[in-house]
Structure 1
Amino acid sequence: MLVTATEVQNNFGKYLRICSIEPVVITRNGIPQAVLSAGGSEPGSSLVLEHVVDYGPSPRRNSLLGYRDFIDLTEKSDNRYELIDGVVYQLASPGFSHQRILGDLYIAFWQYFQDKPGCGPFLSPFDIELIRRLQVDHRKPTEDDINVVQPDLIVLCDYEKDISTKDRYKGIPTLVVEILSPTNRGNDRIRKLGLYMESGIRECWHVDPKNTSITVYSFLDNEIQDEIIYKAGEDEYAHSLCFEGLKALVPVSYNTVV
């Protein structure tokens, strides 16, 4: 992240918190002068791909970065991050197999939705802002209740009304797809699945290249309503539970790392 010396001077506490996630390069007249980093003098030395930046025993209440500071971080950084329950995760760059599977899925989804106006598939990187409904049942939501995630593939319906003046999507996807990898398996299968279940999303697919399977979840009233596992060798296609006729090939084994 590049920031001016004046900006750091005026908001030192903020950038002291940000540097625990990503080194802050301080510039003067556009020329780098110093690096503010929690992990050493080398930019990137404190970062771990898909690694949690732990804010303490109660991340939401003691978060180093609020929603506004998280947005500021992502707008000034070339890295990709997610914010889940007050914890920041850096996203790893996807591998060849991940992108190959994602391309196949997108084609299948696009072919299905091309003659169905009102809904369509969209690819990551695409920020989705979600709030756990159970957390705000008895109070007004605040900005710090917002989680920001980037599913690999999403299906949006009636989305025109949810596009902000800054060309950002502010609605809730109907369906999300996550392709599991060695660096994100725990996060996607536990943290993000729970978030999707509690935020109004109707369906989630977990595509598992390692085990050549696709698990399809449908949600209702903040709980898992159905869970179906499709396995290569037993099932040729995985089928959507909320879009009749939507299907995609179950991935076969790849020799490359996702």
Structure 2
Amino acid sequence: MGVGQGKGRKPATYEDIEALPVGWVGEIVEGLLYASPRPSVGHLHVASRLGALLVQPFDWARGGPGGWWFLDEPEIHLGPNVVVPDLAAWRRERVPEPPDPETPWLSLAPDWVCEVLSPSTRSTDRVRKLPLYHRSDVRHAWLIDPLRCSLEIYRSGNRGWDRVGLHEGPVVIREEPFEAVPLDLGLLWLPRRGVTGPKGDAATPP
């Protein structure tokens, strides 16, 4: 839900986030407060597995080039806006190390973000947060839909986001900015009861 600017209303503030019930996640985009319940198990499964696939080669440099550091659900302040992406990563050439571990939030825009879509956040992620990320000079964005078993790849362009990839099902991909290592998307998807998953073997891209 979005609450904030409008006739007779003041822009949302951080105090509005702090006033939310326990277990709710609050974000502020363009003066509006967006509150959502904690994500479902399927949502968390996809986010945690993607993080596991990326951290070893790109953060720890095990089987990959390294050069990045990652955070799960970081609170990021982009000017007056407050966002909590499911995953975010920074290039070490720009930000060598994470901040003090006692820091509750960050003000440095990441180089890559990933949002896992859910019924309660789908519209906010696409319509509100993606444009904000572009304006904040985030260079890459991924959108994952666990229900459709799909991944969308976006690159920042002059006038907005350019979608440069769309993948569905248990495929193996190489996609920017992590094209140095193949990623098996089949490891992300939870089988749903009564639903038969996509058939066929995934081919490793060249």
Q: What TM-score, normalized to structure 1?
A: 0.62
Tell me, yes or no, if structure 1 residue 224 matches structure 2 residue 164: no
Distance 2:139 2:96 in 1: 19
Give 1:99 deviation, angstroms. 1.2
Structure 2: how far apart are the matches of 1:98 and 1:88?
22
For the pair 1:199 / 2:146, whether they are aligned, the reply is no
Q: Which has the higher helix share?
A: 1
Structure 1 contact 55–87 (Cα < 8 Å) conserved: yes
CA gap of 1:121–1:53, structure 2 versus 1, over 3 A, is same
Shift of 1:247: 4.5
> How far apart, in 2, do the equivalents of 1:165 and 1:109 lie?
21
Distance 1:157 1:183 in 2: 30
CA contact (8 A) 1:63 1:87 kept: no
Counterpart of 1:163 in structure 2: which amino acid?
P
Letter in 2 for 1:119: W
**1:255–1:226: structure 2 CA closer, same or farther, 3 Å change rule?**
closer
Of residues 97, 105, 127, the one that matches 2:75 is 127
**C-alpha distance 206-187 of structure 1, shift in aligned 2 (>3 A):** same
Q: Which residue in the other structure is 2:204 paired with?
A: none
Over 3 Å counting, the alpha-carbon distance change for 1:57 and 1:210 in structure 2 is farther
Q: TM-score, length-normalised on structure 2? A: 0.76
Is the contact made by 1:162 and 1:169 (CA closer than 8 Å) also made in structure 2? no
User: How many percent of aligned residue pairs carry the same amino acid?
Assistant: 24
1:220 Cα deviation after fit: 2.8
Query: Which structure has the bigger radius of gyration?
Result: 1
**Number of matched residues?**
182
Root-mean-square deviation (Å): 2.7
Gaps of 5+ in 2: 194-206
2-side partners of 1:218 and 1:122: how far apart?
20
Secondary structure of 2:134 counterpart = helix
**Structure 2 partner of 1:237:** 172
Alpha-carbon spacing, 1:217–1:56, altered in 2? closer, same or farther (3 Å): same
Looking at structure 1, the residues matched to 3 and 140 of structure 2 have their Cα atoms a distance apart, in angstroms, of 28
